[in-house]
Amino acid sequence: MSTSRSGAPSIGRRFEDWLHRVLPSETRTLVVLVVLTLAMGLAILELPLWAPITVLILPMVVGSLVLGPRQLPWFVVFVLLLLAVLVPYQPIINRRIAVTVLVVFTIGFIILLSSFRRSRLGVAGLRGESMLVDLRDRILKQGRIPALPEGWHVGSELRSAGGTAFAGDFVVAARHDDRLDVVVVDVSGKGEGAGTRALLLSGALGGLLRALPPEDFLVAANDFLLDQEWDEGFASAVHLSLDLDTGHYSVRSAGHPPAALRNAGSGRWSVLEAEGPLLGLIEGTTYDGVEGVLKHGDVLLLYTDGMVETSDRDIMLGVDKMLGQAERLLRGDFEGGATRLIEALGSRNDDRALLLVHRR
């Protein structure tokens, strides 16, 4: 804070504080837009050949981006009233002017409707979008694999239906000393429809993953989804708990496609048939795990059904195809293998997530 030598706030600081009390930042934005709109109205009145009435669309569009939901409707009404006042002063009123006025009123009406929907969120357009971007970044951050010992490689990839930024599939990871816990989740729905539920569920599962022992995680996640009472309140998940020192692992599944294991000694893939009901459907359920040891050179794949399932193919046939592609695409080179697999497999109309664990 800027202060004078005596320690008191400077004149500039005192003026800024006074201005903020009299005109908060949002009100200042509204005042600036009103003044600019009046200047445009004056230009339309005095210079109709150089300033057509369509220029009034500009302040409405800018207002839809920067004004809050309480101020935007009144500002749009103000612009439309100004338009109604200016129309009789046009030098020539013909069909072209009538169509132009209709277009401006239609755009104003659309912006009004959008402001009423936005009032549920309570923030301006740009600020609301930045909040969603921040939430998306947070869900991706929770899926980052923590730093691992030298002998391990873990890669994860996500793709959403239609290439949107929000998806119903996500990965959450946490490390507890020498133990790595990772969960791959598929929320019901796809794309933006499932993205909002995935945002909430990602934060909750991230907390549970860090706070609970492996055997209790899916039970607590199931209880959490039951408490939400969503219309589409179910999800599938596969949870891997891996000892980074010994390679011992346990895999637990909640209605999820089976994990796949490649044995380095035989070079063959097999599926780990861990079974359990979907999350959010049945109270008081338990989830039994499949245990084993990842030896040097072994690979473990966790994935969502978008990687293996289509409307005209059984999921196990899709798993066989995925494992065949994995053998062809990886060829002993597992660095970047998750990216190569997810680009080559799965439905582009469904969300996809893939996790590859390799013990070097």
For 265-297, the pLDDT digits (tens) are 888 888 888 888 999 888 888 899 899 999 998
Inside any domain, residue 2: no
Query: Both 56 and 152 in a single domain?
Result: no
pLDDT of residue 162: 65
Query: Both 69 and 140 in a single domain?
Result: no
Inside any domain, residue 243: yes
CA distance to 16, 18, 304, 352, 354, per residue, from 336 (Å): 53, 57, 18, 16, 12
Query: Both 263 and 189 in a single domain?
Result: yes
Query: Both 354 and 211 in a single domain?
Result: yes
Residue with tokens 């980074």: 244
Which tens digits make up the pLDDT trace of 161-206?
Answer: 766 666 778 888 889 889 999 999 988 866 566 677 777 788 888 8
Query: Both 187 and 323 in a single domain?
Result: yes
Query: Both 95 and 160 in a single domain?
Result: no
Q: Nearest CA to 218 among 226, 227, 209?
A: 209
Q: For the domain that residue 254 is a member of, what is the CATH number?
A: 3.60.40.10
How many angstroms separate the CA atoms of 238 and 271, rounded? 13
Inside any domain, residue 6: no
Inside any domain, residue 69: yes
* pLDDT beyond 80 at 264: yes
Query: Both 118 and 139 in a single domain?
Result: no
Range of the domain at 156: 135-359
φ, ψ of residue 217 to 5 degrees: the values are -65, -55
How many angstroms separate the CA atoms of 108 and 306, rounded? 41
Domain boundary among 99, 122, 145: 122
- What spatial distance separates the first Cα and last Cα of the chain, rounded to whole Å? 54
Inside any domain, residue 1: no
Q: Confirm whether pTM is higher than 0.85.
A: no
How many angstroms separate the CA atoms of 309 and 137, rounded? 28
Query: Both 237 and 117 in a single domain?
Result: no
Query: Both 338 and 203 in a single domain?
Result: yes
Inside any domain, residue 154: yes
Which tens digits make up the pLDDT trace of 175-185?
Answer: 988 999 999 99
Domain boundary among 93, 122, 151: 122
Please state, rounded to an integer, the average pLDDT across all residues of the chain: 81
Which tens digits make up the pLDDT trace of 297-317?
Answer: 898 999 888 787 765 666 778
Domain boundary among 92, 122, 152: 122
CA distance to 125, 148, 291, per residue, from 252 (Å): 42, 22, 9
What's the domain count of the chain? 2
Which tens digits make up the pLDDT trace of 212-255?
Answer: 999 999 999 999 988 887 777 788 899 999 999 999 999 999 98
